[in-house]
């Protein structure tokens, strides 16, 4: 898996854990993708390439299991055990080890080995059954929702298992499905009743509108108090918002076509910045849709130190401030492939000559000095 496991371990690395990334020969597939994914999800980690298919790797696996508190894998069900790194095998070495499997559809069930990626899990988890905007069919997000949910839930589950583990007890074996991670979220929002109106979660004034300069604004009016504030502040420029047909949530939804046409006309008359300056003093919730690059240069982002440097790369620290300080303080860039092999193998008790021999057999990869 390209993101769920790396995200779960990134969260723990940001919180101070030592994370060893074990990569296959040739490196993580994400290294070769034309995106920021690998750099973004693998900072603050160490890397070692190990050929898990080689019989000679078994001793390395044993020592890693003895060294670690947690093992995370993202193979399809059954693959980890065939490689000798399944939960039974690793907990036989270190019974206290917490073992987390991240997969698309879980370790059991008739489609557990089915292939898929983020979009498939969102689709099957109900995440595309409902539209998010009144005037559009259901559509995918640019963010990998299932991967983010699954990786985040995995981090929470691992930390809970570590907290719950008692001295002398066997560590938990965690089975986390990305499809179920989406379904969990979807069920909170929509439940499981087939009689629910497909539009009852939508609000005409909680949508995107194009402004006079071509930029989009997110107007996020849900509660009536905000609608009342909007009606008041726009009374002189568009009194039609104050008509009785729009006075209630039900009325606004029932007359959504007419209301949204009025909103389109209003926002198209001025640039986005004008509308923020106009609506903010009235406490009407609205924001301009911006890029990552734009948001980190804002005064608010600077005030909250929402970005920091990882080498030459700008990154977002763990998004929690504890007692006035960001939890993440130190940042290291995503590691070069197997750059830490010698150091990791030394921690596991291997001598320099043993490391050289394993590298010569292509069991591990040691970077050139």
Q: What count of other Cβ atoms lies within 10 Å of the Cβ of residue 71?
A: 24
Residue 107: partners with Cβ closer than 8 Å, 6 or more residues away? 77, 101, 175
Q: Is 237 exposed, middle or buried (0-12, 13-18, 19+ CB in 10 A)?
A: exposed
In angstroms, the CA 84 to CA 58 distance is 7
Tokens of 171: 């560590």
Helix (H, G, I), strand (E, B) or coil at 145: helix
In angstroms, the CA 95 to CA 97 distance is 6
Q: Please state the φ and ψ torsions of residue 142, each to the nearest 5 degrees.
A: -70, -20
In angstroms, the CA 250 to CA 368 distance is 68
- Examine the residue annotation and report whether 283 is marked as an active-site residue of this protein: no
Strands (E), 119-271: 173-177, 206-210, 216-220
Strands (E), 178-312: 206-210, 216-220, 286-288, 308-310
Task: Please pick, among 14, 118, 147, 340, the residue that the annotation labels catalytic.
Answer: 147
Residue pointed to by tokens 């106009």: 278
Q: Give catalytic residue positions.
A: 147
């Amino acid at each position: 898996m390209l993101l769920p496991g790396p995200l779960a371990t990134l969260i723990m690395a940001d919180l101070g854990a030592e994370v060893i990334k074990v990569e296959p020969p040739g490196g993580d597939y994400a290294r070769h993708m034309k995106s920021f994914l690998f750099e973004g999800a693998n900072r603050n980690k160490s890397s070692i390439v190990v050929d898990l298919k080689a019989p000679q790797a078994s001793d390395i696996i044993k020592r890693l299991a003895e060294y670690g508190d947690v093992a995370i894998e993202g193979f399809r069900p059954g693959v980890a055990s065939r490689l000798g790194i399944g939960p039974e095998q690793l907990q036989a070495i270190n019974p206290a080890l917490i073992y987390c499997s991240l997969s698309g559809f879980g370790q059991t069930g008739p489609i557990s080995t089915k292939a898929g990626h983020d979009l498939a899990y969102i689709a099957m988890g109900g995440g595309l059954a409902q539209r998010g905007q009144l005037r559009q069919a259901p559509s995918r997000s640019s963010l990998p929702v299932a991967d983010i949910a699954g990786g985040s839930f995995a981090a929470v589950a691992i930390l809970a298992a570590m907290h719950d583990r008692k001295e002398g007890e066997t560590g938990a074996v965690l089975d986390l499905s990305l499809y179920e991670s989406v379904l969990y979220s979807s069920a909170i929002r929509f439940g499981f009743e087939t009689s629910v109106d497909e539009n009852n979660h939508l609000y005409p004034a909680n949508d995107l509108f194009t402004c006079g300069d071509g930029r989009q604004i997110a107007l996020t009016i849900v509660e009536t108090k905000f609608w009342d504030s909007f009606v008041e502040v726009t009374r002189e420029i568009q009194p039609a918002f104050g008509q009785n047909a729009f006075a209630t949530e039900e009325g606004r939804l029932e007359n959504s076509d007419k209301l949204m046409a009025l909103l389109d006309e209003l926002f198209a008359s001025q640039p986005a910045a004008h509308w923020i300056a106009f609506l903010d003093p009235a406490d009407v919730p609205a924001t301009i849709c911006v890029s990552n690059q734009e948001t980190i240069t804002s005064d608010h982002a600077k005030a909250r130190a929402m970005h920091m440097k990882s080498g030459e790369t700008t990154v977002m620290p763990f998004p929690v401030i504890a007692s006035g300080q960001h939890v993440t303080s130190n940042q290291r860039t995503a590691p070069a492939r197997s750059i830490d092999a010698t150091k990791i193998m030394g921690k596991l008790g291997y001598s320099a000559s043993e490391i050289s021999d394993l590298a010569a057999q292509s069991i591990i990869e040691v970077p050139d000095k």
